[in-house]
């Protein structure tokens, strides 16, 4: 069956990360260290991403999906057992009942975005050679009427079914890597963000009898199983397929523990986060003037609202995790919970607490460069902006800004 191939689909060597890239754990200080390699000017992000492959500074603010595992299972969504006699041959309409509800999801999202979620599902379909659903939809909870032309008497199973595709995905981000020979480079690395996905193929409907010979791993065979047929050769009965629960329980990835500003451990000094030309900086609004962080020029009237302290620093596989505390308002950079899954939602300042909505992964350029990419830990979305203009909100995008505008600079205040 033909399948769609995404423009950013990782190549076959996706999992062949070099040992040098895997072992990239050199300490990343807050201040830039002496340069070991030059940094190219910001340019359009790379057209593809491959684990261990080279990336550029323009990719620091982007993110790509890759599939870690995939499983395909023929599944019956609607079913009804139906007796047909010699006197009832011909076309009949039978109302089937719901057996299984499959809802398309990526991570916690069932309202899919057009960026990372679609890329992950496209990767999943391509990995097994199937066309899969890549939009917010489900197989439905209501009964379904199926019309069928019965030519022979017998006990039939009328069904609607599909192939359920499930598995796990990971995230590729651009980060600096110690190449092991005294030099550094930018490489696509596997980030901490990962989760599971569910989708399904085109729905099909039909009718099957116990005596019909059908492929063992087919949708029709799953419907035949529900008839509870007894094979004549053995006299035994096949176990009916297990009915899946209609509702899916999702895991809340937010680590929500009570915390205050005083509970944070912060490094000395303050930093500005700005556009590569350093003309606009992330600026928190003055108190009582909203909460949306915006791009503004740095002036004597900024009142330190464009300065941030970095707290709770930790590192895993060369990826730095930070909490940003505003110098003036004493509030933390955050993603609003009610819009956490929204593409393009604005970043805000909020009262500080130990919450993954307020924790951010920082991806760094090679030593000697101040360029970074910023990713929210809870959502996995990357920071960016729509236009290079004063008063533009700093927003989040599931795959980042592919034009390179999600790459920022981190400079000592």
Please indicate whether residue 343 or residue 239 has the higher confidence score (pLDDT): 343
Using CB atoms within 10 Å of the CB of residue 214, give its burial: 0 to 12 exposed, 13 to 18 middle, 19+ buried. Answer: middle
Distances from the Cα of 247 to the Cα of 108, 172, 338, angstroms: 13, 30, 22
Q: What's residue 262's pLDDT?
A: 53
322-335 pLDDT, tens per residue?
Answer: 999 999 999 999 99
Please give the average per-residue pLDDT across 187-198, as a whole number. 92
Is residue 319 very low, low, confident or very high in pLDDT (cuts 50, 70, 90)?
Answer: confident
Please indicate whether residue 275 or residue 192 has the higher confidence score (pLDDT): 275
Q: Which residue has the tokens 């940094």?
A: 39
Distance CA(218)–CA(74), nearest Å, equals 6
Phi/psi of residue 314, nearest 5 degrees:
-145, 165
Distances from the Cα of 401 to the Cα of 201, 259, 265, 342, 397, angstroms: 30, 32, 31, 15, 7
Q: What's residue 300's pLDDT?
A: 84
Q: What's residue 268's pLDDT?
A: 85
Please give the average per-residue pLDDT across 64-70, as a whole number. 95
Please give the average per-residue pLDDT across 122-141, as a whole number. 96
363-399: buried (b, 16+ CB within 10 Å) or exposed (e) per residue?
Answer: bbbbbebbbbbbbbbbbbbbbbbeeeeeebebbbbbb
Is residue 252 very low, low, confident or very high in pLDDT (cuts 50, 70, 90)?
Answer: very low
Average pLDDT value over all residues in the chain: 83
148-189 pLDDT, tens per residue?
Answer: 999 999 999 999 999 999 999 999 999 999 999 889 999 999
Spatial CA neighbour of 324 closest among 377, 400, 386: 377
- Percent of the chain predicted with pLDDT > 90: 69
Q: Quote the pTM value.
A: 0.77
- Dihedral of the CA atoms 379, 381, 384, 387 (nearest 10)? -90
Distance CA(297)–CA(116), nearest Å, equals 31
Contact 276, 407 (CB under 8 A): yes
Q: Reply yes or no on whether the pLDDT at 245 is more than 50.
A: no
- Grouping H, G, I as helix, E, B as strand and the rest as coil, residue 91 is strand
Contact 214, 225 (CB under 8 A): no
Give 261-412's CATH code, choosing from 2.60.120.10, 3.20.20.140, 3.30.9.10, 2.80.10.50: 2.80.10.50
Please indicate whether residue 5 or residue 85 has the higher confidence score (pLDDT): 85
Q: Which residue has the tokens 């391509």?
A: 126
**Distance of alpha carbon 106 from the chain centroid:** 6
Q: Which residue has the tokens 């070991």?
A: 36
Please give the average per-residue pLDDT across 127-143, as a whole number. 96
Q: What's residue 321's pLDDT?
A: 87
Please indicate whether residue 29 or residue 64 has the higher confidence score (pLDDT): 64
């Amino acid at each position: 069956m033909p399948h769609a191939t995404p423009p950013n689909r990782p190549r076959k060597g996706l999992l062949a990360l070099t040992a040098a890239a895997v072992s990239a754990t050199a300490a990343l200080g807050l201040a830039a260290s002496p340069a070991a390699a030059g940094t190219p000017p910001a340019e359009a992000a790379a057209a593809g991403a491959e684990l261990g492959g080279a990336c550029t500074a323009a990719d620091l603010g982007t993110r790509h999906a890759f599939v870690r595992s995939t499983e395909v299972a023929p599944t019956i969504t609607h079913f009804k057992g139906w007796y047909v006699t010699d006197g009832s041959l011909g076309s009949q309409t039978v109302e089937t009942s719901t057996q299984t509800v499959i809802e398309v999801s990526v991570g916690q999202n069932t309202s899919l975005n057009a960026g990372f979620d679609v890329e992950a599902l496209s990767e999943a379909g391509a990995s097994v050679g199937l066309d899969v659903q890549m939009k917010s939809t489900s197989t439905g909870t209501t009964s379904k009427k199926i019309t069928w032309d019965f030519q022979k008497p017998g006990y039939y199973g009328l069904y609607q079914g599909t192939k359920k595709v499930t598995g796990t995905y990971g995230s590729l981000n651009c980060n600096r890597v110690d190449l092991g020979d005294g030099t550094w480079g930018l490489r696509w690395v596997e980030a901490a963000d990962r989760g599971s996905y569910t989708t399904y193929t085109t729905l099909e409907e039909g009718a099957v009898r116990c005596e019909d010979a059908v492929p063992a791993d087919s949708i029709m065979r799953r419907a035949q199983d529900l008839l509870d047929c007894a094979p004549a050769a053995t006299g035994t009965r096949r176990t009916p397929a297990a009915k899946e629960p209609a509702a899916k329980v999702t895991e809340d990835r937010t680590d929500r523990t009570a915390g205050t500003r005083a509970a944070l451990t912060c490094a000395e000094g303050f930093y500005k986060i700005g556009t590569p030309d350093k003309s606009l900086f992330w600026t928190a609004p003055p108190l009582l003037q909203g909460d949306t962080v915006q791009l503004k020029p740095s002036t004597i009237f900024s009142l330190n609202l464009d300065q941030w302290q970095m707290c709770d620093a930790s590192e895993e596989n060369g990826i730095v995790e930070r909490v940003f505390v505003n110098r003036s308002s004493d509030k933390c950079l955050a993603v609003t919970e009610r819009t956490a899954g929204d593409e393009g939602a604005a970043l805000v300042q909020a009262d500080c607490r130990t919450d993954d909505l307020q924790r951010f992964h920082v991806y760094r350029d090679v030593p000697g460069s101040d360029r970074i990419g910023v990713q929210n830990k809870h959502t996995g979305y990357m920071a960016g902006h729509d236009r290079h203009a004063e008063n533009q909100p700093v927003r989040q995008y599931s795959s980042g800004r592919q034009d390179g505008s999600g790459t920022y600079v981190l400079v000592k205040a």
